[in-house]
Amino acid sequence: MNKNVDYISSLDEQGFAVLNHIYADAEVDAIYNCIEKACAKLNVGNYSKSVFAIRQAMKKIPELESLVSTTKLQNLLSSLFTEPYFLTKAIYFDKPSESNWFVAYHQDLSISVDRKVAVSNYTNWTFKKGQYGVQPPLDILENIVTVRIHLDKTTKENGALKVIPTSHLKGIYRPETIDWNTETEHVCEVEKGGIMLMKPLTLHASERTTNGKQRRVLHLEFGSKQLTKPLEWLEFYKI
């Protein structure tokens, strides 16, 4: 994969990029079948007809690694990082056809860590669904790249992410301060087997589903920076 293609500058300058045809239909089907088979064995506890998510998906479903970590993905990640990279978070999201929720504009400011301990510049601690979250220093957030693997064709009618281009360049950007006289909105539609790249500081949101179709996404976050000791990434995983 050419390191000079447009997705690198788009990610750096706009905060996001869409690349279609990264996974063939058969590869997508294999990923989904692997997840579906694992669901029967996992005590996920948060399944309903409207919301379904598996957190720490790569740890809970280790068979996913060989299906997800294709040559195309590895080449893509190698083009985005100058240092050895690793997985820091993996979540499987299913927005079923019965779903009708929306997500307001926000930045992804929290990372998952292995413990709670007082460390300088790590703030806004949370404990949700059995894991600690914390807002790390800005350089950690700026280093992360989100890779959203789309297992379904995703349009604005079934919850494609909306983003505010260049918002990742403005540090912590509170949604209530968005000036729509100067900001624009872009809907990131993605084909089945395509991926969306995004910087966590990019303001993003999604609308309610209106076409009755699913939006299944494997959300992966990668980075190359270690945390301040004794903190460790909860999902540190070389892929």
* Structural domain includes residue 149: yes
Determine the structural domain holding residue 134 and report its residue range.
Answer: 6-223
The DSSP bridge partners found for residue 161 are 206
**What tokens appear for 75 in the block?**
């080449």
* Structural domain includes residue 181: yes
Strands 145-150 and 195-198: antiparallel
pLDDT tens-place string over residues 17-50: 999 999 999 999 999 999 999 887 766 544 445 5
pTM: 0.93
Mean pLDDT of the chain: 92
pLDDT of residue 51: 53
The pLDDT > 90 percentage for the chain reads 81
Domain count along the chain = 1
Q: Residue 87 in contact with residue 58, Cβ under 8 Å?
A: yes
**What tokens appear for 99 in the block?**
């779903």
Please give the order of strands across the beta sheet that includes 52-55: 16-19, 195-198, 145-150, 215-223, 86-95, 52-55
| Average confidence (pLDDT) over 207-232 | 93
* Structural domain includes residue 120: yes
Domain at 42, CATH number: 2.60.120.620
pLDDT of residue 5: 60
Alpha carbon distances (Å) from 194 to 22, 149, 151, 154, 208: 5, 6, 8, 10, 21
**pLDDT at residue 73 tops 90:** yes
* Structural domain includes residue 126: yes
* Structural domain includes residue 1: no
97 vs 192, residue with greater confidence: 192
